[in-house]
Amino acid sequence: MTSIDINGIRTYCFSSRQEAVDYALAEKKSLIAVNAEKILHANEKTRELFGRNIGFSDGIGAVWALRKKGFKDAIKIPGCELWLDLVRSAHHDKTFYLVGGQQDVIEKTVSKLRKEYPGINIVNYRNGYLRDGVDRRDLLHDLVQRKPDVVFVAMGSPKQEELIEEMLTVHPAVYQGLGGSFDVYVGAVKRAPDWWVANNLEWAYRLVRQPARIFRQIHLVKFAWRLSVGKY
């Protein structure tokens, strides 16, 4: 599988979501979303993290960079869709563990998954509030005991990536950080309408709904400029 470095962030050149799913299941590594902000603010720690795992083009900025480097088939792979592709592909013969969200959100997520994917084996789940070192140790111990094949962690970056790295030291599996994907899945948070998503304008929709995000979207503009002048 081909990968390239974008400002030191190792990014895989998947041409479909299924290709990403198949590769993750074969490699038993963490799937990490790559976007303009992460590329722009890359540092030694994040570069090492992506180097050990599977970075996929979650943001349109990452897609622009891949295409500029010659990978014309590169597509945007939204993490909030990819995790469900993984479930669809593996729910018949793999086991799952879920971490993240508020208690009611994680319970609704598990209930909906069991309804939509009959027979799915969710070996355990818990909310994303690890209050102290004891919570963290209990989670790691439970992970070792239950040995899931796939682990989803919805806590936001970089907290979820840091936890996944710790989990990988005690139990090899396919991991994916999901941010707020559980909230989107159960309808607690509304995703952009289909037209905005299909036209790669999800970021613009969020900006319209939340004008305060302008300070984050400036990073996309800065990234696009650096990419256009050959900085990446």
Residue ranges per domain, the chain?
A: 1-77+198-232, 81-191
CA distance 91 to 96: 8
CA distance 97 to 51: 24
pLDDT score of 152: 98
What is the enclosing helix (H) or strand (E) of 145?
helix 133-146
Q: pTM score, two decimals?
A: 0.86
pLDDT score of 40: 87
pLDDT score of 227: 76
Tell whether the model's pLDDT for residue 209 goes beyond 60: yes
Tell whether the model's pLDDT for residue 231 goes beyond 90: no
pLDDT score of 22: 95
Question: Largest Cα–Cα distance in the chain?
Answer: 51
Give domain 81-191's CATH number out of 3.40.30.10, 3.40.50.2300, 3.40.190.290, 3.40.50.720: 3.40.50.2300
Which tens digit of pLDDT belongs to each residue from 49-71? Answer: 899 999 999 988 899 899 988 99
Percent of the chain with pLDDT over 90: 61
